[in-house]
Structure 1
Amino acid sequence: MTARRITATYRIETAYPIREAVETMAGEQSTGTFVRLPGETDEMRELYGAHIESVTELGEVAEASLPGAGVPKGLPGKPVWRRAEVVLSWPLANFGASLPNLVATVAGNLFELRPFSGLRLLDISLPEEFAAKYPGPKFGAEGTRRLSGVEGRPLIGTIVKPSVGLGPEQTAELVRVLCEAGIDFIKDDELQADGPHCPFEARARAVMRVIGDHAERTGKKAMYAFNITGDLDEMRRNHDLVVELGGTCVMASLNSVGLTGMIELGRFSQLPIHAHRNGWGYLSREPSLGWSYVAWQKIWRLAGADHMHVNGLRNKFCESDESVIASAKACLTPMFDSKPCTAMPVFSSGQTVRQAPATYAALGSTDLIHAAGGGIMAHPDGPAAGFAALRESWEAALAGVPLEDYARDHPALAKALGAYAA
C-alpha cells in the first residue's frame, strides 16, 4: 500500500463466505459489476481496482442485523451471519483529490448490496493531495480564541431559545442579556435561518448592534454564530452581511447544505464556520449501518468546518459518553503531516455545570465550546448566574477541585448544583 492510495475501514456482516463478500465490495466500488466484463482485464483490476488490504473476522451472530440481506444459493440449513473488519484501498488515480467523488467511492452503493446484513464505514485515510486541494479549517481553535478573546479554558456558550418564534428585536434583547452576563459564544438554533417571522438581515443587524455596543463599552465581544444555511447565493449574501456588520462566526447545517455547499462556503468564508450536524442520527443510529463519526467528520473538516458538534456527556440523545469523547478526540487529531486540519469540538445537548469535570477528564483539552441552553438560561438567578456557574464549573475542573467543594465559595455554582440533578 502506498501513500497515493485512499483507504477505508469497514465493519461488515454477511451470510456469504467473507472473502467472497469482500471481493463483491471491492468490485462494486471500482472496476467491476455483478458479472465479469470483457474489458475488465487483470491489469486493469490491479491498477484501478479496489485492493483488499486486510480482513479480520470478528465472530458470528444469530440473526441478520438488517432486512433485505441475501444468502448464498443452495445453502443447506440455516445461514450463519459472520462479522469482520475490512480495509479496502483505491488508487488516487481513480478519481483524484475530490471529496464528492471520494464519498461516492467509499460510501456509495456498498450499503445496498444484497450480500450484506450490516455494513458500516469506520474510518478513512487520505493522501496529502487532499490537503493540497482543500483549505480545511481556516480558524480552528487558535483563530476562534483570537476572535473571542478566550484563552486557557473552553468557550462557554448558549443557544437562542425558544428555537423559533422570537423576532429580530426579541432575539437582540436576549443577546443583550447574555452579553451583559459575559457570555463567550451564542448561536442561532438550527431551525432559525431566514424565515419571514425573523428575517436574516433584520436579525443580524439587530443582534450585531447589541454585540457591538457591548463590545465598545466593555471590550468583550461575544461570538455569535449566525445560521446562514441556504442555497449558495443565500449563504454568500448572508455571510457577506455578517462580515460587513462586524460579526465573527457563521453557522451551516452540514446535512442540509451538502458536501459541495460546504466546500464552497469553506472557500469564500472569511469567518469561522460553526458546523451543525443535525440529522446525524439517520447516518449513524443503527450500529450495523452507515458511518462512524470518526470517518464522517474528516470530510467536513477538510471542506472547511472550524467547529464540529459532537453531542455532550450525559446528553438528551441516544449517544454514549464513550462515543462522544471519541468523536471529540477525532476532531482534535491532525489528518495530515503538512497541516493539522483540526476542528474545535462543540459539546451540547442537555449540558449543565455537572458535566464539566468529566468532560475535561476524558478529553484532556480545553479546546472546545461548551454550549448549554437550559443549563444557562434556567439558572434560578438568571442567565448571568448561569454563565458564571458554568464558567466556575470549568475553573473547578481545571483545578482538580470537586464541584461541591468549589461551590462553597461560589454561590452561582452552588445554586446550579441544586437546580440541575446529578
Structure 2
Amino acid sequence: MIRRIDLRGQVLSRSELLQVLPRPEVGVEQAVDAVAPVLADVRSRGGAALRDLAERFDGVRPQHLRVPAAALDEALAGLDPVVRAALEEAVVRVRAVHADQLPGEHTTVLADGAEVRQRWIPVQRVGLYAPGGLAVYPSSVIMNVVAAQEAGVPELAVASPPQKDSGGLPHATILAACALLGVDEVYAVGGAQAVAMFAYGATGSEPADGEVLCEPVDVVTGPGNVYVAAAKRLVRGVVGIDAEAGPTEIAVLADDSADPGHVALDLISQAEHDPMAASVLVTPSVELAGAVESKLVDLAEATKHTARVTTALAGPQSAVVVVDDLDQGLAVVDAYGAEHLEIQTVGAAELAQRVRSAGAIFVGPYSPVSLGDYMAGSNHVLPTGGTARFASGLGVHAFLRSVQVVDYSREALAEVAERIVAVANDEDLPAHGEAVRGRF
C-alpha cells in the first residue's frame, strides 16, 4: 500500500535528499497555470464570475454570494449542543495561546533626544478561508478568526465553498462557527476564486452592476487544496498571505519505542483529508517500519474514507523512510519540512529542540496531530510542500506590521549630522547630506 524508501548506508546532501523524499505529482508550480485564468476572470467580472465558477467547480449556483445574517443566526441556533461546547472550548484554548503571541512595543534610546520606537500595527482588513470540499472545517474558522481577532484586526471576512445540500450556502457548521465568533461578513465562495475575490475585491453579480460585493483585503489566510495554495502564491504582493497551506502532510520520526498502532493511526488521520495528503514515517527501526505497514493495511480497510486514505497512502507523496539512526532521521525530516511533525522516540522532547524545519512539532505519544487540529490551542493553519523551511504557521504575527517610529531632537540630529553627510557623499547622494545640513 505504502512504498518504502531505504536510505541506510547513504550519505546524502540536502539537495540529494530533496530529490529522493516523497512529494506529490501535482504541486503548487503545476497548479499555477490552471489557477491564473480563474484569478483573471474574477478580477474582470467580479460576482458574475464567482457564480459561474461556483457552478463549474462546486456544482451549485449560489443565490447569495454574501451569506444573509439570518442564515448565520439560524445555523448557530441549530448547532448540536455537544459540537457547540467543543467549539467553544477550542476557542478558549486557541485564544489563550494567541493572546500570548502578541509582541510588546519598546523604545530604544540611543542618546538624549534620540529615540526609535517599535510599534506593531494590525492590518485593517483580512480575508479568511475555510475549506469545504471533501470535509467541513469549522475548526479552520476558529484558527483564522481567533488569530486575527487577537491581533486586533478591525474587519474580518470569511469565505467557504457553497454546498449543494445547503442551498448554495456554506455548510451550516461553518456558518455557526462564524456566528459564534461574531463574524457577520461571510461569503459562499470557494477555492482559488475566493482568494481572487479577497485580493482584488468584487462588484455585484453582473458586469454592469457597480455595487460592491466585497472590498479588497490586506491579508489572505487559511488552508485549502493545491489550487488555493497556488492562488495565494499568485496574489502575494497584491496582498499579504500567511503561507502556502495546501494538501496536508504528516511526518512521524519514530524509533523502536513507538507504538506501531499509534503511528499508523496518525498517518491515516492525515490521509483521510485528501487523496493528495502526504503521510511519511521516518524510522531507524526496520521492525517498526514493517509493523506500521501491516497496521496501515488493516486500518485503511476499516476506516470510513477507505478509498481516499488508500489513494493517499499509495501516492508518490507518502512513504516509509528507513534510516541508519535518529541523527540521519533528523536530517531527513529537516529536509522534508513537514507541515506536521510528530516525534515518537526516546528523548522526544530533546530531539524536538533540534528540529529546524516543521510547521508544528508534536512531542511524544500523547501529542497527536489530531490534538493540534482541534484542542491543543496551537494553530492548525500551517505551511506545506516544504515551505516550512522558511514559512511559519498562522498566528497573530500574520496580521501585524512592524513599524519603526524615529524621533530625534535638533541636538540629537546635530550630533550625527556630519557622519550622515560623509556616508551620503560616499554613496554619491549629496542631496541626502544637504537635507541634514540645511536644517542648521
Q: Same fold (TM over 0.5)?
A: no
TM range (shorter): under 0.3
TM-score (structure 1 length as normaliser): 0.26
TM-score (structure 2 length as normaliser): 0.26
